[in-house]
Amino acid sequence: MNILITGAQFENKGAQSLLFSLISEIRNKYPDRKIVFYYVPVDDITAYDVKKYRFKFVYDDCFGKDCSDILRIVHRTIKGMKRILQLRKKIRKKEILRLSKCWGRMDLHLDISGYSLSSKWPAEINNRLLRYINGSASRNVPVILMPQSFGPFDFITSKDSWNKRIRQSLRRADVICAREKDGKEMLSDIYGIRKNVFVYPDLVLSSGEVKPKNIFKKHYDKKEIVLDTINNVGIIPNHQLLTENDEEKILEMYRNIIIYLLDKGKNVYVFRHSNDLEMCEKICKKTNDQRVKLISDDFDCLEFSAFVKQFDYVIASRFHSIVHSFKNSVPAIIIGWSVKYNELADLFGQQKYVLDIDDGMIEDTLIKAVDNMDEYYCFEKKKIKEALNSINSKSCYEKVWKIIDNIPE
């Protein structure tokens, strides 16, 4: 059985956790069936040891008429052409499969993009997902869009063209799983897509613990950092906060809240979930207090999940850092900027801890949230744990199992 998985990558640990969760769940369900996974990375495929994992890698070598804008742009530049030639040379040496050669042999296509279809993103990101859907549908490969966010769809240029392409492409998907009610409503109101659209929680929340034996060929040597302190609070930033807002104000906000936590007797750790080390370093430098501990380690998604268990609560902005925290019954004060944060918190009864970065009084609101969390975090832990039991009963996997069960062995 050949399953094409698109939308994942390794640099973003949220995307990595989606991939690992999905593969682990399928292997748990079908331990005796031979399953070959084809992972189409959106980052540099040559950066990973393909022999390490229990799934195969395939290079997206499509440069035809349906290729995304970014590939056409890269193809037209000298620098881009050199990069393509270098990449192809490396790929030949590693004997990595090519998507164009094996696409037609797939039995099922599962997309775990997380958040790709929106006017907020560059054209190439939207184009990539639409091309994958159309590529599988045209080859009669069933397509399921696993839980992900959609919208907004406020395209400034070529709005009619975008709307037409999105409408036509999404109608070719067999199942669409929206991560938020807001996304489902937009698909219905804007594109009239109502059939086979369902709302399910994030895939990581719907999955059990990832079993390393389902992911890795050999023994998995998990890196563990054990804290020798109590009363721990974690600061998990997102570098997008700096690109979308005044950097000095954001860093000052973190400095002030960290000092406030230290004065309350908390042990404060600043660490990253994905590629946010530079921002972590800026926060520590701005705070300039020896009591603040910077954890510079680059955790994989399994290591991060184990590490975050050691905190009373976290102050976080990375979506899947919050997901992993909740999955371990660790409350979170959420500094966000979109509906996905609100709906995630709503699942766990944590709405009062979601702060909008555009709030003019964000720092005052953050201090109030810390005071409230300090008093009630044990109660919030219990509430989150109870909510997890309910979420696990609302799994999107039933849609996957139904199709797989009909695939001949």
229, 269 in Cβ contact below 8 A?
A: no
Q: Which residues does 288 contact at the CB level (< 8 Å), separation at least 6? A: none
Whether residues 397 and 367 fall in one domain: no
306, part of any domain: yes
Burial class (CB in 10 A: 0-12, 13-18, 19+), 199: middle
Per-residue pLDDT, 66 = 47
**Sequence letter at residue 145:** L
Same domain, 330 and 256: yes
Asked if 8 contacts 382 with a C-beta cutoff of 8 angstroms, the reply is no
- Structural domain range at position 45: 2-208+393-404
Pick from 73, 379, 28: nearest CA to 215: 28
User: Does 26 reside within a domain?
Assistant: yes
Residue 396 pLDDT? 92
CATH of the domain at 344: 3.40.50.2000
Look up residue 236 and give its two tokens: 């998990």
Residue 63: the pLDDT is: 53
One domain, residues 69 and 126: yes
Please indicate whether residue 78 or residue 44 has the higher confidence score (pLDDT). Answer: 44
Residue 17 lies in a domain: yes
On whether residue 331 sits in a domain, the answer given is yes
Q: Report the sign of the C-alpha dihedral through residues 131, 164, 171, 20, in that order.
A: positive
Residues 46 and 125 in one domain: yes
The predicted pLDDT at position 383 comes to 97
The CA-based dihedral angle spanning residues 28, 30, 34, 37, taken in that order and rounded to the nearest 10 degrees: -60
* pLDDT tens-digit series, residues 345-394: 999 999 999 999 887 788 999 999 999 999 999 999 999 999 998 887 77
In-domain check, residue 224 = no
Give residue 44's pLDDT. Answer: 65
For residues 379 and 399, state if they share a domain: no
161 to each of 64, 115, 155, 172, 308, how far by Cα in Å?
A: 20, 21, 10, 17, 44
Residue predicted with more confidence, 152 or 63:
152
pLDDT at 401: 95
CB atoms within 10 A of CB 86: 11
Query: 317 and 250 in contact (C-beta within 8 Å)?
Result: no
CB 366 within 8 A of CB 71: no
Inside any domain, residue 399: yes
- When divided into structural domains, the chain yields a total of 2
Q: What is the pTM of this model?
A: 0.91
